[in-house]
Each structure stands twice: as C-alpha cells, then as structure tokens.
Structure 1
Amino acid sequence: MIWLGRRQLGGQLKALSWGLVNQLSVAALPLGVGLAVQAVADGSGSRLAWATALILLLGAAIALGEGMVHRATTTNWTTAATRIQQLLSRRTAELGAVLTRRVAAGEVMAVSAADVEKVGWFVEVLSRFTAAATALVAICTGLVLYQPDLGIVVALGIPVIALASLPLLPAASRRADRQRERAGYATELASDTVAGLRVLRGIGGEELFLARYRAASQEVRGAAVRSARTWALVGMVNVILPGLLLLAVVVHGASLAQDGRIAVGELVTVYSAVLLTQHPLRNFSELALAYSYSKPSARRTARVLALRRTEEGPAPRIGRPEGNPTGDLYDPVSGVRAAQGELTAVVSGDPDTAGALAERLGGHPVDPAPDHASVLVGGVPLDELPLERARATVLVQDKEPVLLSGTLGELLGVPASGRVAAGAALRAAYCDDVLDALGRSEGGGDDPMAGVITERGRSLSGGQRQRLALARSLVTDPEVLVLDEPTSAVDAHTESRIAAGLKELRTGRTTVVLTASPLLLDTADRVLLIHGGTVTAAGTHRELLRDDARYRALVTRGDTDGAGDQDGPARSAALATTEECR
C-alpha cells in the first residue's frame, strides 16, 4: 500500500485538490444561508442578492468538485487495482507451476478477483478522507471565530464524534478478517471441486464435496452476519452522536438567541454548519471500513507477491557472457547429467520424483530452501540467470500441458528461435489427424492453422492435445527441452512415429525425456535410471534391459522380486515388445 501511495502521488494530490473544492464549498454554504436569512430578517434586498449570488457560486463549486473528485478517485481505485493485478500476473508467469505448490489456487483467485478491489478502495477513500478532515478543521475554526459561544461546543463535539468509533474498529477488523478468510477457503474449495468434477463424478464423490462446500458457505454467511453487526454498531454511533451534537447546538443556540447574544442568522449559520458536518464525517467511518477490509487483503496480496522462484541464492557471478549458456545439463541433487546435443531419457518408478525432477530442471525447485543446489547448464547455475534467459535456455513441458483457446496458428505463435517451422514441428509430433480435424472445424476452411481450438482443447482427444503441446514445445526450439511423459496418451504406433520425429528434429540439441516407454527409451542416446531420488544406473536402453533387473522391471511393468532367476526370458520379452511396436 505504501508502494501504491508513492506510485499514485499525483493522482492522490489531484483527488485531494478537487475534494477540498467540494468539501470547503459545502462547509461555506451555511454562511450564505445565514446571510440570506439575516438579510430577510433585516429587510435588506441588496444583502439578500449578495447572499443568493454566494449560494449559487458555492453550489456550482460543489457540483464541479463532486464530479471531478469522483472522476479522480475512481481513476485512483482502478489504477491501483490494475497495478496489483499486473504484479500478480508477472509473479504468476515467473513462478509457473510452482505457484500452486506454495499457494492454493483458490487463494490466488481470491486475491486477483476480490482483494485487489479492497486495496483499491482504500486508495480511493484516502484522498477523500484527507479533504473531509481538512474541511472539518476549517468548519470548527471558522465557527469559533464566527460565533465563539456555539463554535466552542461544535469544536469540542466534532473530534469526539470522529473518534468515537475507534474502540469498535479492532473487533470489526477481526471479524472482517475472519469473513475474508472463510470466503477465501470457500472460493478455493469451489475452484478445486470444479477442476476435479469429472473425477468426482467417476468415484461418486460429488455429494461429499457438495456437503463440504455447503458447510463452508454457511461459515461465510455466519462470519458476514457477525461482521455486519459490528459495522451496524459503528454506523449507529455515527448517527446518534451527530444528532446529539445538533440537539445541543439548537438548545444552547435558542437560549443565546432569547438572551439576545446572537442573531437569528448566526444561529441558522451554526445550525446548518453542524448539519452539514455529517457529510465529511461519513468519510471517517468509510476510511475505517476500507482500512479494515483492505489490510488483510493487502497482507494476502503481499504474501503472493513475495514468492520467488528460489529463496536467497548465491550471489551472481561477475563476467558471465550475456548469451544463453550452452553445455551439459546437470542436476547435482539427483545426479542427472544430459550431454549437450544428445537425447537423454530418465526412468523413475515414482511419478512424484519424476515431476519434481522436471520442475528442478526448469529452474523451479519444489523446495525453495536457500541451500538447495541449482541446476547447471554448461556450468552456469540456472537460478542465477534472469528469468527471460532461463526460459529461453530450458523449456519444460509438463505432464499435463494446457492449451489456450484460439487458432492453431496462435497456439504455435510462441517466442521461438526461428529454426523450426510450425509444419516440421507438427510432423515430428505426428499431428496429421489433428490437422484434419481442425481443417473441418468452424473457421478452419482449407487452412488447418486457422482452425479453432476450444478452451483447454476440450474439443480434442487427450492424445491430440498432448501432441499439439509437443509441437508447440518443438517450435520454440530451446537449447534444452525437458519433456515429462510426452506420449502417455497415445497408442504404440503413434508413439513410434513421435519417437522417430523427436529424435530427428532435436538432433544437435539437448533433450531430456522422462518416460518409461520402451519406444522412446530405445531412441535415446543415453538412459538414466533414478531410484530413491538419485541416478543408480546409466547406459543405453538395451544395455540396461540386459544388465539391470530394476530397470527391466520398470520398463516391462514387472516385479523386481526374483528377476534374477528370469533374466533371459524377461530381457527377450522386453526387446520383442520394442521391436513389435516399431
């Protein structure tokens, strides 16, 4: 919020200036009314004309100030919310898939959708509050000078009214925090339920999650009611106390008028001024409400914005070349080394271990501890590179890549080296049937590149989505390409074609494939077996089939128990399976 204040100082000053025009004009209006009443009482037409002109002038200033301050404060609100959303988008793009490993997706959605609005609200109210506070000081000072007997009463009463609700704010803030917390949890639960709806229907868990969401929704309702009760009490205080002050001014003023100590016009002026103080006083309660809502929202937003790819890492080295690093890809945690220009396959029996390795190879370690060992590319720590250079050096395709809606041409129009054409990437990923389907789709015509891909590629099969994602990765042509199970959703025939296309297209470029498919493994220059998080065996696919029982069990979906007694038959069966698929 301090950062926003510095960035929007000009907007705040503009809103403050117009707010002062509006509030001070409102504060001066009772003077014109009092002069007009006194002119009528004295039968002075000239003074009545001057008072009327003053009222008209103040009315015009009030209208102009009200319109311009609304314009300025709304600009401040939307600008603050947009700036925070820009920061959130940049942080999301920087963290990638690591974001949801550290913060729930529902919380990120709540921050982006609701919390930024609350912070923007506080930014919008701040300038109006400052103008209102200045107007109240001017009113109290002017009344003390204009009519000391009544002005002192007003000057003592206004601060009491303005500060009376302060003791209630801590409880109101706590209840507002609780409401926001429960609302964030309900949003997160709803998001996760919708994302997994297909799975829930398959296992019959819809009613269970519906009951959970119903309970969470009721907790939100209860928290909202308790919060509203507290704010209703604050509102009651802000209505009763100004009413009591107005009553005191009327009673005391009437007594002074009967004694002849003040004129009727002066009494009307003071009465009108006290009546109109309720307008700027409302800004005090609104500021308190905005602060109590925006503080937890700002805290949640700052927590998301504080996330980094890694924690404090080693200091950057001096004299590093500006180009993207080249050389072997090495992970000191697992011992995985992918030689430059070769296709390296990694086999692991634990999908979580493989997923964590893929994240780590992309410079997004699941555990961002300060003492973690960074992945090296040609001896250069990937974590030390600026994000743009790190992304251009290593690209990781997740096990379940996402396709955005749009045309095929837009899908493949990603930042790339320019060395791989879209057609070559599509052929290597064996997307012939996908092109046919897109060519027949609405808007496709004779050009498949104009075919429309629906949101997340829902109009395509799982295998077609997977192959399009692979083509997109191949088009980028990064120095190092990491593929996590890129053919898990395709048949053996298609997988064989993809393996050959991948080998041909990535010749001379470093490629790492995390897979247990014999077809992909057989095309790899080198295969690494991971067990217990580290590399335990290395060689070609056929060498490991022959010499390593654990590798043979993983690839053939067999059991390591007793594998030594059946080395010959198991090895022959695995090789036969590979040849049959080819």
Structure 2
Amino acid sequence: MNTPDTREPRTGSDILRTALRRNLGAMTRGTVLMGLYQAGETAFPIALGLIVELALRERSPGALVLSVAALAVIITTVSLSWRFGMRVLQKANTTEAHRWRVRVADCGLQPVARDTGLKSGEVLTLATEDADQTADIIEVVPLLISSLVAVLVAAVALGLADLRLGLLVIAGTVAILSVLSVLSRRIGAGTREQQARVARAGAKVADLITGLRPLHGFGGNHAAFRSYRKVSTEARRQAVAVARVNGAYAGTALALNAVLAAAVTLTAGVLAFEGAITIGQLVMAVGLAQFVMEPLKLFSDMPKYVMTARASAERMALLLAAPPVAVPGADRPAPGADLEVDGVRHGALDGLRFRVPAGEFVAIAAYQPRAAADLASVLALRVPPGAYEGAVRLGGRDVGGLSVDAVRAQLLVNPYDAEIFAGTLRTNIDPSGTSAKVPEAVGASMLGDVVALHGEGLDHPVRDRGANLSGGQRQRLSLARALAADSEILVLHDPTTAVDAVTEQLIARGVAELRRGRTTVVITSSPPLLDAADRVLVLDGGVITAEDTHRNLLAGDAGYGRAVAR
C-alpha cells in the first residue's frame, strides 16, 4: 500500500528513491507482467524452432495441431501480459506525476517563500514537465528489468543450442551498454541545461504577459519581444544540441543492436553448415537474433530515460529542498487585536510608527508611492520579519512569532494590482464559496452595475487576468473580493485609482458602512476615502508627520492639500 511521504527530499536522488519506494507494489506487479510479456516474446522463436524440429522428425498432424495450440497460448500470454502490465505501470506513473505536481505547487504557494531564485514561469515548468519526466522512472525500472529478462532468456536458449551463441549475446549486450553509458551521461548534462533554459524562456513569457498592457502603453513591446527571442533562441540551441546527442545515441544503439543480431545470425548459419546445430535450432537462432533487437533497444534506451528523470528530479529538488526565507511561529493572534507598526525600517520606510485600535477606520496618505508599496508588503508578510528593523504587532504580539496562516486569516492586505482569475465574477469574489458577505461586498464596491449588465449575473464568465473587464471593473472586482473575506483587519492599497470620481465617492461610503466596527486601513490619496476615515495619518519621508481628520488637515496643512487635491 502506498503511504504519503511528508519529508522534504534534499536531492534529485532522494526524489527518485521516494517515487520508487512508494510505488514498489505497482512496480513489482508491472515487472512480473512485463517480464512475462518479454519471456513470451522470447518463447515464440524458440517454439518455432521446436515446431520445425518436431515436424521434420515426426511429420504428425496431431503434433502440428499441438504446436499451433502452444503458439496460440504464447500469443495470448504476450497480449494479456502487455495490456495489464502497461496499465499497472502507466496508472502508477500518472499518479506519481500528480503527487509531485501537487507537492511542487504546495511549495510554490506556501505563505513563506522559499529562497530558490526561480521565477514563477520556472516553477510552472517544474510542476508540469519535470514532474512528468521524474515519474517516468516508475515505468523505466520495470521495463529495464523485463528487457534484461528477455535478453537472458534468449542467451540461455541460444547457449543450450550452442554455448558460443549464448556467450556472443551476453558479450555483445555488455559491450553495447558500455558504449551507450558514455553517451547517456552527456544526455543527462545536456538535458539539465536544456530544461533550465526552457524554464527561463517560460518565465520570460509569463513576465511579458503580466506586463503586456504597460508595455503597449509606453511602446516597449518590441524591445520585450527581442528580449524573449534571445532567451528562446538560447533554449532552441540547447535543445538542438541535446537532440544531436539523442540522435547519436539512438543511431549508435540501433547500429550496435543490428551488428549483434547479424553476428548471431551469421554465427548460427556457420554452426548449422558445420552440423553443430540442427535446422530447428538454426530457425530458433535466426528468430531470436531478430527478436532480441527489441529488448536490446529498450534496454539500451533505459539509461537515457534514467538520466532525463534524474535531471528533472534535481530541478524539482531546487524548490522542494530550498529552506523558507523565514521560519514562522506557531502561535495565533487573539481575536479583536489592534494593529501596531513600531519603528519599521524597510525600503522607503524610516522608523515608521503608528497604531490602529480594533474597530477603527484609518487612512494613510503616503506622499511617496514607494513608501506605500513597502508598507503594504511588510503588512502582507511578503517581507519576512527578519528582513526589516522594528516590529509589526497584532494585539501586542510580534507577527514573527505567529503562524503565517493565522495572521493572514485575521489580517488581509489587498494590493492595488491584485490578480483576477479565469472563472466567473462569483468565483473571483468568493473563491472558497463560503462567504456570507458577497451581496454586501458587491454593493459596497459598486460592482452591481457590472453584475446587472450581464444576464448571467455573478456567474458571468471572467477571462484569464480579467481580459474581458475594464481596468475599473477589475479593480472593483478585487475590492469586492477583499470585502467579502470579512477579515478582522483589512488593509487596502489604492483601491480606487481606476474609477471615476462619482464611483469613488460611492465606494468610500460603501466601504466605511460595511466595515463599521471592523479594523480598516486604507493606503490612499483618494479624498473621498480620506474623508470617510476616522483619522488620517500622513506618511512622508518614511515616517508619520501628521495625524488628524481629513478636513482638519486640509484646513491647516497646505502641503497635505496639494498632495491629495485632484
């Protein structure tokens, strides 16, 4: 029975050993069935030789009928063993590939990032191509063993006819594998580099698609295309180099196998001419010489597949074995906690201090966009606590000692560039399908006009990255998702930059009403949102320089008025 393995593998060899260990039962059944298939294939030319011997010696119709029946049994055995053997192995292969895809996705989506240096496009390649190629080891090993069985059975059968024929097969097999092992090592090194280059090209495509709109906006799409073409060309060159080695490997294997088959056939012919073997044994030897090319080819291809699987496993280990950027604590914040930022220095933040009591609606007017982005990143835990000075506390407890999942369940930070996913309006607003605040969130975010515009309502389809929505609609959809989550503490970063002034005013009122009694922080320069807040903190030069209501700040601070005036 397969058991889950929760330990993180450290190397590609660990990954392969894990895959082999938890599929041992399926591989054993597959090996037995595929070995039976190869043994049946080998038995066919042996049976033909015996039939010829029997026919020449006895000339009996009954013996011929028996021989034909024996051939029918062999053919049936070959057919059924192949069918069920490959079914067992391919099911195990597919299941194992699924396990590694899930494992890679789990590591890539963990709340604490891993220090791998891999881009999202490269992680995607790890979770698809590399996972599939690693799982191929489940089929490779049984096929390798069954091919060896076929070669050994053929060598024994030929050796019983004449020892020289058996020794020729064994010596030829050893020589072929020795030559091909050298080429397989080159394939492994080349494949690793090819996979890395293809992954980098995929990451470049992902980056370009994400930034396609701004690229078109300032005319940078042509330069971006040239950049991608350069990366893709490097991947193509490496793929061609690997293809050359693969071609040389396949050609060498085919030629050596053909030479061995020819050598066995010629040797058997000479022995038959000299009278050392019978006509029936000659027929068997010629048949085995032709048959043995298939298992030999399969046997000689296995090192290449092993090297490819190992290269893919090593790439997956880059992510799976990478340590987390930070090790979070296990404690949970108390419900109804306040939010405190104490002396945080990070990027444009220079000893930032402020406190938001539970239930208050606070707006932060950041004069420098970089400071706003840095503050949002720190609060969202995208920057680990050890990477900045100072502390962020929930209910007086440092977030570094709290569970990341628990913090994010209580503190939600909605970025200004939140992703929109393919699906429907409903699945974007309430991905888990558990929110009771969807109608209120739709109303507060002023998304109701988008819902009413389509006959499907909330079930209106949304394309990848919200391609069929305008910029303002995407922003309101993102805001609706944040409001529907109904978290205890909600941080919104520039939630209304893409909407008109009238809609912005209505959103400010809706958010203030829906979030009444819940802690809310809005990082914004929007006058309606600033006016809706209980108080406004002015963030300038990385610190809080002023604090009051929006209207009092407008009346007494000319710099504030210039910063937020529209």
Give the TM-score of the pair, scaled to structure 2.
0.84
SS at match of 1:164: helix
Q: C-alpha distance in 2, partners of 1:124/1:350?
A: 58
Cα distance in 2 for residues equivalent to 1:109 and 1:255: 59
Distance 1:210 1:70 in 2: 44
How far does residue 166 in structure 1 lie from its aligned partner after superposition? 0.6
Counterpart for residue 327 of structure 1: 337
Q: Aligned residue for 2:419?
A: 402
CA RMSD of aligned residues (A): 3.3
Match of 2:187 among 172, 176, 179: 172
1:525 equivalenced with 2:534 (yes/no): yes
Q: 1:346/1:189 Cα in 2 relative to 1: closer, same or farther (>3 Å)? A: same
1:60-102 deviation digits (Å, cap 9, x = unpaired): 1111122222322322332222222222333344349x68995
Q: Which is bigger in relative contact order (C-alpha 8 A, separation at least 6)?
A: 2
8 A contact 1:91–1:305 mirrored in 2: yes
Q: Secondary structure at the match of 1:404?
A: coil
Query: Structure 1 unaligned runs (5+)?
Result: 558-573
Aligned-residue sequence identity (percent) comes to 30
Structure 2 unaligned segments of length 5 or more: list them: 1-14, 345-351
CA contact (8 A) 1:411 1:472 kept: yes
Contact 2:262 2:289 (8 Å CA) reproduced: no
Q: Following TM superposition, by how much is the alpha carbon of 1:466 offset from its aligned partner in structure 2, in angstroms?
A: 1.6
- More deviation, 217-226/135-144: 135-144
Aligned to 2:67: 51
Match status 1:247 vs 2:262: yes
| 1:258 maps to 2:273 | yes
1:10–1:539 CA distance, 2 compared to 1 (3 A) = farther
Equivalent residue of 2:327, what SS? coil
Does residue 89 (structure 1) correspond to residue 105 (structure 2)? The answer is yes
Q: Partner amino acid for 1:523?
A: A
Q: Deviations over 1:179-206 (max 9, x none)?
A: 2233223223333333333333333333
Q: Secondary structure at the match of 2:276?
A: coil
- Amino acid in the other structure paired with 1:69: G
Aligned equivalent of 1:278: 293
- Following the alignment from structure 1 to structure 2, what is the Cα–Cα distance between the partners of residues 228 and 252? 36
1:392 maps to which residue?
409
Tell me the residue number matched to 1:231. 246
Q: Give the superposition deviation at 1:514.
A: 1.6
Match of 2:325 among 311, 334, 350: 311
Q: CA deviation at 1:555?
A: 6.1
Q: Structure 1 pair 152/454, CA: closer, same or farther in 2 (3 Å)?
A: closer
The answer to whether 1:345 aligns with 2:363 is yes
Match of 1:567 in 2: none
Greater shift after overlay, 143-152 or 383-392? 383-392
* Paired position in structure 1 for 2:521: 512
SS of the residue 1:68 aligns to: helix
1:411-464 Cα shifts (integer Å, max 9, x gaps): 43344886x6333223322x1xx42343232x33xxx43444444334433223
2:448 matches 1:435: yes
Aligned partner letter, 1:343: F
- For 1:201 and 1:67, how far apart are their aligned partners in 2? 54
**Closer, same or farther: CA 370–474 of 1 in aligned 2, 3 Å:** closer
Paired residues for 1:52-451 under 5 Å: 52-95=68-111, 103-145=118-160, 147-306=162-321, 310-313=324-327, 316=330, 325-332=335-342, 333=344, 334-365=352-383, 375-382=392-399, 385-386=402-403, 388-415=405-432, 421-429=437-445, 431=446, 434-441=447-454, 443-444=455-456, 448-451=457-460
Distance 1:129 1:247, change over 3 A: same
Q: Which of 499, 515, 521 is 2:508 aligned to? A: 499
| Cα distance in 2 between the residues matched to 1:204 and 1:75 | 49
Equivalences, count: 542
Is the alpha carbon distance of 1:57 and 1:103 closer, same or farther for their aligned partners in structure 2, counting shifts above 3 Å? Answer: same
Query: Which residue does the alignment assign to 1:556?
Result: 562
Taking structure 1 as reference, are residues 280 and 544 closer, same or farther at Cα in structure 2, changes over 3 Å only?
A: farther
Report the 3-state secondary structure (helix = DSSP H, G, I; strand = E; otherwise coil) of the residue aligned with 1:507.
coil
**In structure 2, C-alpha distance between the alignment counterparts of 1:214 and 1:364, rounded to whole Å:** 32
Are 2:553 and 2:561, in contact at CA under 8 Å, matched by a contact in 1? no
